[in-house]
Amino acid sequence: MELKEKLLSSYVAFENGLNVNSDIHDIRTKALQEFEKLGFPTKKLEAWKYTSLNSVLKEDYSLFPDHDIAIELADVKKYFIHDIDSYKIIFIDGKYSSFLSETTHDGMDVCLLSAALSKPKYKPVIENYFNKIAKQDNLTSLNTAFATEGAFIHIPRNVEVEKPIQIINFTTGKEDATMVQPRNLVVAERNAHVQIIERHQSLTDNPVLTNVVTEIFTDTHSTVDYYKIQNDNDNASLVDNTYIEQQSESVCSVHTFSFGGNITRNNLNFYQKGERIDSILKGITIIEGKQHVDHHTLVHHIEPNCESHQDYKGIYGGRSTGVFNGKVIVEKEAQKTNAYQQNNNVLISDKATINAKPQLEIFADDVKCSHGCTIGQLDEQALFYMQQRGIPKKEARALLMYAFANTVLESVKIPEVKKRINKLIANKLGVNIGFDL
């Protein structure tokens, strides 16, 4: 049975086991109908022209693992940013792990989406925010139809969360192949401030497919810093759909660090619904072998006097493939917009590929917008210069690539995250650099 038919045929039994209100039921049903009509995306769609899921979809995935597996902290501690105090929302094969987690309801809600969907006290937040900005496309609709669990983060007005929140989804490999569909909802009310770190990690050599959807709402004067660390096993594929709605004078930044996995597709969408908004999208990709990473971004400028800043760097080795498809839309009313988009790539193998498509759609006449894309190799003269001063070629190449990525790392606000990313970059480049950028 093909995966689409397997999903459709299992839906009734799936929802019968849930405790959700009628409104959520209607949302699920409509989403399933949309997925049934659209199916999985193919390369015939312009947005998926360079990314095929055929090899991923052929697996016979277990859709709803019903086992309980205990994981020892010592076995997974290395995947945490463990040198900081943080709240933690941890899932194992799609199920919440209370043993590894640290949640709170003290002045804010850092807890589970399943509780928010089923308990009356959360109903106002769910009615106002759940599934309000997520697109009705193929994989987002599929997630909406089957979403049961994920992170629910609600920060009331004037609350600054004192420590970061880590969201980690572990997959154990108890099944021959596993598909999980986490759903996260983040609401930062007026003048709130929160930092979030998200990771999906397979602990198995068995195939894993993760289809995650995250909705983020930033109210007036609020600040959200979101960090995605993607360094999974070669058998794990990820489709990450993130939708962000910003109100006036809010700041939202998303940093995406893609270092591992089989196929990784990042759909990142910003919608500006007020004035003096700042949207920041930055990413570093370092892959090799036959790995494939696709960044698909959208920033929609709707109101005047707003800014957006995109900076994506990619280093590609082996037979790896990178894709960058970035779009900035500036509506007629969005005068005085300042939008910057840059995508720079280095190919360190003759067989690596990058497909880049930066796009601007501008309907206003008083704006400052720019975009650019470069694809090249390391500067041989710079390498020669460094070797002449006693730096071995391998270390010299690594130093150049560190410098290449530094414009992204310098805006990371959590020192421990920057330190972890530095180590991951060094590991990917196969060197030991004795300093932090």
Per-residue pLDDT at 368: 94
CA Rg value for the chain: 21
Q: What is the pTM of this model?
A: 0.94
Any residues with CB less than 8 A from the CB of 309 and at least 6 apart, and which? 278, 279, 280, 281, 282, 340
Q: What's the pLDDT at 19?
A: 66
**Distance (Å, whole) CA 11 – CA 118:** 19
Q: What is the pLDDT of residue 342?
A: 94
Cβ neighbours for 404, distance < 8 A, ≥ 6 positions apart: 313, 315, 344, 346
Q: Are 178 and 95 in contact (CB under 8 A)?
A: no
Give the pLDDT confidence score for residue 20 in this predicted structure. Answer: 63
Closest CA to 140 of 232, 40, 10: 40
User: Could you list the pLDDT tens digit for every one of the 437 residues in the chain?
Assistant: 699 999 999 988 888 777 666 678 889 999 999 999 999 999 999 999 999 999 999 999 988 877 677 788 888 989 999 889 999 999 999 999 999 999 999 999 999 999 999 888 999 999 999 999 999 899 999 999 998 899 999 999 999 999 999 999 999 988 889 999 999 999 999 999 999 999 999 998 999 999 999 999 999 999 999 999 999 999 999 999 999 999 999 999 999 999 989 999 999 999 999 999 999 999 999 999 999 999 999 999 999 999 999 999 999 999 999 999 999 999 999 999 999 999 999 998 899 999 999 999 999 999 999 988 998 877 777 777 677 777 777 777 777 777 787 788 889 999 999 989 988 888 887 766 554 44
List Cα–Cα distances, 395 to 271, 280, 362, 426, in angstroms: 42, 31, 43, 10
- Quick one: pLDDT at residue 434? 54
The predicted pLDDT at position 68 comes to 72
